Amino acid sequence: MTALIIDDEAPARLIVRQYLADFPQLTVLADCADGLTALAAIREHRPEVVFLDIQMPGLTGFEVLAQLTEVPRVIFSTAYQQYALDAFAAGAVDYLLKPYDRARFRQAVGRVLSQPAAPDAALERLLQRLDEASAPAAYPSRLFVPQGGRLVAVPVADIQFVEAAGDYATLHTAGGQFFSSLGLGQLEQRLDPQRFLRIHRSVLVALDAVCDLERDGSGGYHATLAGGRVVRVSRGYADAVRPLLG
């Protein structure tokens, strides 16, 4: 696994390097001393895990994560207990409260190495919360989803419809499909109801993507979306769609 060490204190970066000698399977790609450099390094190197200080000049660790579209696994470190506890509760892989010893470090790294290749769903929730907090509106502009062992940001404006997939959901865009670890009901609560409408017990559609509505003869409709995809509006949800007909 590849890693970045991000901390504004040189002694702290040195300690991480020394302790990582116990983990030859982790290769350190670079050290960073501030948030702006860290952001550029993560984008350039795309590490699998980062050791990330929270309080840094330029950007905090949280602000670094909020600006990424692909997010690696994270071990936070901080000298301030309240930040550490907030990070852990929000869903970081683990956190290190300074000063920490070699045993605590080994515990945190061991947890990272024991995780499956897919990103921790808790980290996905953390990134979503960060994005919502930074957005000027009450609803997020992006949804973070797992893809190829990383987390990627899907712009909400690109979503044409959301389809239930068991307890999870699939986001359909013009550019492809993305699996979300959130269920349809959870996504319905997160997305702006002025832009997204439930048209079926298993489908949520973006109103801006609807190009045409045609009655299906049984009290429902067929909705044609941009790009030609057709989704069904079931009879039970037809009343919500009728105002769109003018």
pLDDT of residue 39: 92
Would you tell me how many other CB atoms lie within 10 Å of the CB of residue 83? 20
Q: Are residues 86 and 154 in the same domain?
A: no
pLDDT of residue 118: 42
Q: How many domains does the chain have?
A: 2
Q: Is residue 131 part of a domain?
A: no
| Cα–Cα–Cα angle for 116, 118, 121, rounded to 5 degrees | 100
Unique residue bearing structure tokens 């079926």:
200
Q: Where is pLDDT greater, at 209 or 240?
A: 209
Q: Is the pLDDT of residue 31 over 80?
A: yes
Q: Are residues 22 and 54 in the same domain?
A: yes
pLDDT of residue 121: 58
Tell me the mean pLDDT in the region 33-53: 91
| pLDDT, averaged across the chain | 83
Q: Are residues 41 and 102 in the same domain?
A: yes
Q: Are residues 142 and 96 in the same domain?
A: no
Residue where a domain terminates, one of 122, 155, 178: 122
CATH number at residue 233: 2.40.50.1020
Q: Are residues 95 and 175 in the same domain?
A: no
- CA torsion sign for 132, 134, 138, 144 is negative
Specify the range with the lowest mean pLDDT, choosing from 26-35, 143-152, 189-198. Answer: 143-152
Q: Are residues 74 and 147 in the same domain?
A: no
Range of the domain at 111: 2-122
Q: Is the pLDDT of residue 58 over 80?
A: yes
- From CA 206, how far away is CA 246, in angstroms rounded? 18
Residue where a domain terminates, one of 94, 122, 150: 122
Q: Are residues 48 and 157 in the same domain?
A: no
- C-alpha distances in angstroms, 121 versus 69, 73, 146, 190, 196? 16, 11, 8, 16, 24
Tell me the mean pLDDT in the region 50-60: 87
Q: Are residues 115 and 88 in the same domain?
A: yes
Tell me the mean pLDDT in the region 148-161: 85
Cβ atoms 22, 106 nearer than 8 A: yes
Residue where a domain terminates, one of 122, 154, 180: 122
Instruction: Establish how many alpha carbons lie within 13 A of residue 177's alpha carbon, considering only the half-sphere containing its beta carbon.
Output: 8
Provide, rounded to the nearest whole percent, the portion of the chain with pLDDT above 70.
83
Tell me the mean pLDDT in the region 211-221: 86
Pairing state of beta strands 221-225 and 176-180? unpaired
Closest Cα partner for 178 from 158, 197, 195?
Answer: 158
Q: Are residues 7 and 117 in the same domain?
A: yes
Q: Is residue 128 part of a domain?
A: no
Unique residue bearing structure tokens 């600006």:
67
Which two structure tokens, joined as six digits, stand for 129? 């919360």
H or E, element range at 2: strand 2-6
Unique residue bearing structure tokens 């061991």:
110
Q: Is residue 181 part of a domain?
A: yes
